[in-house]
Structure 1
Amino acid sequence: MYKFRINGGIGLLSICLAIASCKVPAIISTKENRSVPDSYGNNRDTTNTSDIEWRKFFTDQNLISLIDTALKNNQELMITLQEIEIAKNDIRFRQGALLPTVGVRAGAGVEKVGRYTSQGAGDASTEITPGKEMPDPLTDLTIAAYANWEVDIWKKLHNAKKAAITRYLSTVEGKNFVVTNLVAEVANSYYELRSFDNQLVIVKQNIELQKNALEIVKVQKEAARETELAVKKFEAEVLKSQSMEFEILQNIKETENKINFLLGRYPQEITRDKSNFLDLLPPAVNSGIPSQLLANRPDIKKAELDLAAAKLDVKVARAEFYPSLGISAAAGFQAFKPSYLFKTPESLLYSLAGDIAAPLINRNAIKAEFNSASSRQLQAMYNYERTILNAYFEVSNQLSNISNLEKSYDLKSKQVDALTRSIEVSNDLFKSARADYFEVLMTQRDALESKLELIETKKQELNAVVNIYRNLGGGWK
């Protein structure tokens, strides 16, 4: 049995479909703004700190070990890696659409028609062999291979594949951005933890000073040189400092847990050096020039790739207005009896068909998809420009922050030195009755606050350097 079909009049049909498809909306012309200032100020040096690998940028081995663990176990990073796998599979899916679909089909059926029908009467008069009529009921056995293929004449499928590849590259940059933020977050939390350790030491030292002053006041009260009011004031100050000690202990616990969470593990003590926090020197920073942000910042590169993918999506949506060409084919065997199934050429079955189809009336759905794709392209363009603008301001703010913190730290260091000396002076004056207890209390309080502020400024200084390293695009290489 032969079966062969080729659609006739394809040329005439193509002309009609082309006329029907002539009113295709134009692609919106977009030109993203990639311009950035020439420099962040007077500096035009192209040396950029972001080129330094994070293992060399950070020198504290305890911190390096923590970052290593975070990069292996952090759940957010693991989630991002799975997004990359999803993007890979989307590429495979788009690649498959470019190739013919080939399958095998096997089927069996039975049909009984009425004898007093046109089909039944015709079957009754048919003889397969002399003296043998068509069997009734009639069985149908089929074994065939089939193929379907959409010819990508408008590059719709190719553009969809390119968009999938671009989005895969975007997810890679997204992973790099997560790594950059993770490295910075672990480093900032580590320096915060060390600052709390140093604050705890300062508060404990201050408690001892206040206790000594309290004993002196008690002795002077016994000698009728001071009143009970002075004793209670000093006791209250000791209790206040002791309460502050427990607040710092709670901050230490929460910061340790925060670091452990970033490392993807349950609470445990964070190994670190608890001394010499104020002696830490932040690494030198070279900001380079703003145009380097376009190549160094993963979030900018991700936004750029998202924009490229959105442009390809518009081309894919626009191609839906044009005619599509589909080709289908089949080849196999068909018979009503198993013994006849593989007899050739009688049982041979084959078909070949070409179809051209295009939307003619009620194209609202594809119009809506095209308009949505165009809007998403504009969104991606604005997001790209905003990402560049935000990156520049982040770097600019941190450069200013580093400069101001350096000056502030120098002044606060001098303030701490002066107030530390004033404690000894106020104690000596108090013992010789040349200063009252209130002056001693205020001197101790001011000295404590200045020391804690100095530690806080040092932490901010270290965090600012970490942040500028991240903002310049460092930490993921």
Structure 2
Amino acid sequence: MKLSRLTLLLGFILSASGCSLMPEYFRPAAPVPEAYPGQPANETVTEAPPLPWQTYFPDADLQQLIQVGLAHNRDLKTAVLRMDEAKATYGIQKADRLPTIQGNLTYDRSRTVFSSSQAFEAELYRVGVGISDYEIDVFGRVKSLTQAALEQYLAVTENRQAVQATLITEIATQYVNLLTLHAQLKLAQQTLDDRKQTLHRTQRRFEAGLDQVLDVKAAQIQVEQVQAQYAQWQRQLATTQNALYLLLGESSQRTPLVIKPLADLKLADVTPGLPSSLLTRRADIRAAEHQLKAANANIGAARAAFYPRLQLTTNVGLVNSEFSKLFSDTGSNYWSFSPQLTIPIFNYGRNKANLNLAQTRERIEVVNYEKTIQTAFKEVMDVLSTRAAIAEESAARARLSELESSRLQLVKRKLDQGLVTYLELLDSQRSVLDAQSQALQIQQQALQNQVGLYKALGGS
């Protein structure tokens, strides 16, 4: 066969692969309101672009921790490898759309017996190039499978982005927890020193006959309570540090953890926009849609199974009885062209069942897509609905802490004047510790709320 004929043949093969039975894709409507609670649906909202994590978390020390985590975290590395795996799978499936051209070299030796006295022996060398069992994709089966593999790869890519956003959120959250525990320990140490001084003073007054043994016992109880609380926070601090280093991917704990007041940790404020923006902002929603598109493509492949499949095997080359003369002028040319048409006749309902399976899986992916959107909407609502309450509580806790501190100073002055008992002093000291501790906790919740908004809006 001449080169021009082979070119025409390949052109026919590629032109025949044009039909597709894959259903047209329509994005399902988002099953969420048009606006978040407290935001009028008809209000014009300026949609802000997603903030990169470097802008959302401007603190230099936190940025360093996030960069270490992005470089070393094992979950993120696994997500990247999963992406490479899906890309390779797509490449394999994509290759099926084009014919595989192979070279071959064969040697045949045979002996044919015509009678008891006559026999014929022959040997033959062949060298050629050809196509083996190539499916001409007349009804788009291979094209649909390739499209499904592409959507699976895109879904895994989005999952990798979702893993990164989750990792950044967890690192920031654990860093907030770490700073909170250090502040709690500092507060507990100051309170413990104050309680020990009160205990020593009470013991001296008891020895002087000015206080009762009940006052001494009460002071001792206050000291032990603070020591127990201090030990509890130390234990929580150790586990928080371990959790943070696990997120960073560093078992040797090489990265220093810079400790600062909670008030010094600043986060950017973002505009939530409209719920519809979650469809493009959140990687998990984009991944769910790609899974839906993959299921839609698989329906096309299942439909194509009802129609005939056309496979082609071709070969062209040289043949000779002597290997040394195979490429000489005395060599002979040969070619073969073997199309095969396979028509499904009776397969006990297998094709119908496969189509039903593909359609059912597509409906499942629709539900998963809608559930993912609803979950994202709920996460944003959780953050937004608690933001105002947290801010109000934080202000109230700060005022309460100041009032309790002022009350403690007043009690101390009255104690020096003999107007109050040591039990009242101990009670006031306990109230100050509780108020200051709760003020730190609400600061922690406010920062965690801001960190949660980064992930809820689809941090990048």
Specify the TM-score bucket, using the shorter chain as the normaliser: 0.7 to 0.9
Contact persistence 1:320–1:366 (CA under 8 A): yes
State TM-score, norm by structure 1.
0.84
Q: Which residue of 1 aligns with 2:50?
A: 51
Instruction: Give 1:26 shift.
Output: 11
Gap change, CA 1:322 and 1:209, over 3 Å in 2: same
Q: Return the letter of the residue paired with 1:274.
A: I
CA distance in 2, matches of 1:196, 1:76: 26
**CA pair 97-279 structure 1, distance change in 2 beyond 3 A:** closer
Instruction: Name 1:146's counterpart in structure 2.
Output: 130
CA deviation digits over 1:288-316, x for unaligned, max 9? 11111111111111111111111001111
Matched, 1:287 2:272: yes
Report the secondary structure of 2:34's partner residue: coil
Q: Secondary structure of 1:93's partner? A: helix
- Work out the CA distance in 2 between the residues paired with 1:51 and 1:115: 84
Mapping of residues 48-87 of structure 1, within 5 Å: 51-87=50-86
Once residues 206 and 269 of structure 1 are traced to their aligned partners in structure 2, the CA distance between those partners, rounded to angstroms, is 32
1:107 aligns to what SS in structure 2?
strand
Q: Which is worse superposed, 335-344 or 169-178? A: 335-344
Instruction: Give 1:464 shift.
Output: 0.3
Query: 1:50 touches 1:472 (CA, 8 Å); kept in 2?
Result: no
Q: What percentage of aligned pairs have identical amino acids?
A: 25
Residue 455 in structure 1 maps to residue 440 in structure 2: yes
Indicate which of 245, 248, 252 corresponds to 2:230. Answer: 245
The verdict on how the C-alpha distance between 1:276 and 1:343 changes in structure 2, with shifts beyond 3 A counting, is: closer
Name 2:387's counterpart in structure 1. Answer: 402
Identify the residue that residue 230 of structure 1 maps to in structure 2: 215
Q: Amino acid of the residue matched to residue 85 of structure 2?
A: I
* Partner SS state of residue 395, structure 2: helix
Q: Does the C-alpha gap of structure 1 residues 280 and 261 become closer, same or farther in structure 2, counting only changes over 3 Å?
A: closer
Tell me the secondary structure at the aligned position of residue 79 of structure 1. Answer: helix
User: Structure 1 residues 281 and 328 mapped into 2: Cα distance closer, same or farther (>3 Å)?
Assistant: closer
1:373 aligns with 2:369: no
**Does the Cα contact within 8 Å between 2:59 and 2:265 map onto a contact in 1?**
no
Pair 1:34-2:30 in alignment: yes
Separation in structure 2 between the aligned mates of residue 69 and residue 281 of structure 1, nearest angstrom: 20
Q: Distance in 2 between matches of 1:107 and 1:265?
A: 57
Query: Does structure 2 conserve the Cα–Cα contact (< 8 Å) formed by 1:103 and 1:147?
Result: yes
| Residues 23, 296 of structure 2: 8 Å contact kept | no
User: Structure 1 CA distance, aligned partners of 2:71 and 2:367?
Assistant: 34
Counterparts of 1:106 and 1:269 in 2: how far apart (Å)?
A: 60
Deviations 1:252-296, CA, capped at 9 Å, x for gaps: 222222222211112437645534324656543421111111111
1:94·1:164 contact (CA, 8 Å) conserved in 2? yes
For 1:203, give the aligned amino acid.
A
Determine the C-alpha separation between the residues in 2 that align with 1:114 and 1:162: 55
The 1-side partners of 2:22 and 2:451 are apart by 47
The answer for unaligned runs of 5 or more in structure 2 is: 1-20
Q: Deviations over 1:30-69 (max 9, x none)?
A: 8733253121134345345662222122221100111112
**Residue number in structure 2 paired with 1:205:** 190
CA spacing shift, 1:28–1:382, aligned 2, 3 Å: farther
Give me the whole-angstrom Cα distance separating, in 2, the residues matched to 1:229 and 1:419: 24
**Distance of 1:173 and 1:329 partners within structure 2:** 42
Measure the CA separation in 2 of the matches of 1:451 and 1:37.
40
Q: 2:315 matched to 1:319? A: no
What is the CA-CA distance between 1:335 and the residue it aligns to? 4.6
Q: In the alignment, is residue 90 of structure 1 matched against residue 89 of structure 2?
A: yes
- 1:144 is matched by which residue type in structure 2? G
Q: Amino acid of the residue matched to residue 204 of structure 1?
A: Q
Query: Could you tell me whether the CA contact under 8 Å between 2:57 and 2:267 is conserved in 1?
Result: no
Contact 2:58 2:268 in 1 (8 A): no
Q: Distance between the aligned counterparts of 2:56 and 2:26, measured in 1?
A: 40
Is 1:439 the equivalent of 2:424?
yes
| 1:433 to partner: Cα distance | 4.0
Q: Is the 8 A contact 2:199 2:219 kept in 1?
A: yes
Q: Which amino acid aligns with 1:141?
A: Y
Taking structure 1 as reference, are residues 48 and 457 closer, same or farther at Cα in structure 2, changes over 3 Å only?
A: farther
Of residues 368, 375, 396 in structure 2, which corresponds to 1:390? 375
* CA RMSD across the alignment: 2.7
Match of 2:262 in 1: 277
Alignment of 1:344-363 (within 5 A): 347-363=332-348
Q: Distance in 1 between matches of 2:389 and 2:282?
A: 25
Q: Letter of the aligned partner of 2:200 in structure 1? A: E
Relative distance call for 1:283 and 1:375 in structure 2 (3 A) is: same
**Secondary structure class of the residue paired with 2:419:** coil
Residues of 2 paired with 1:103 and 1:341: CA distance?
19
**SS, match of residue 222 in structure 2:** helix
- CA 1:344–1:317 in structure 2 vs 1: closer, same or farther (change >3 Å)? farther
Asked whether the 8 Å contact 1:50–1:469 carries over to 2, the reply is no
AA partner of residue 98 (structure 2): L
Counterparts of 1:270 and 1:437 in 2: how far apart (Å)?
47
- The 3 A distance-change label for structure 1 pair 403 and 48 is farther
What SS is found at the alignment partner of 2:363?
helix
1:424 to 388, 400, 409: 409
Which residue pairs with 1:172 in the alignment?
A: 157
The whole-number CA distance in structure 2 between the counterparts of 1:280 and 1:142 is 77
Could you tell me how far apart the structure 2 residues matched to 1:383 and 1:336 are?
Answer: 65
| Alignment correspondent of 2:289 | 304
Looking at structure 1, the residues matched to 31 and 220 of structure 2 have their Cα atoms a distance apart, in angstroms, of 63
Q: Give the 3-state SS of the residue equivalent to 1:51 in structure 2.
A: coil
| Contact persistence 2:33–2:275 (CA under 8 A) | yes
Q: Distance in 2 between matches of 1:366 and 1:110?
A: 44
User: Rg larger in 1 or in 2?
Assistant: 1
TM-score, normalising length from structure 2? 0.87
Task: Encode CA deviations 1:340-376: one digit per residue, 9 max, x unaligned.
Answer: 7567788433211111102211244433332322222
Q: Take 1:270 and 1:231, find their aligned partners in 2: how far apart are those partners? A: 46
Q: Which of 210, 219, 222 is matched with 2:204 structurally?
A: 219
What one-letter code is carried by the residue in structure 2 that aligns with 1:146?
G
Structure number with greater CO (CA < 8 Å, separation at least 6) is: 1
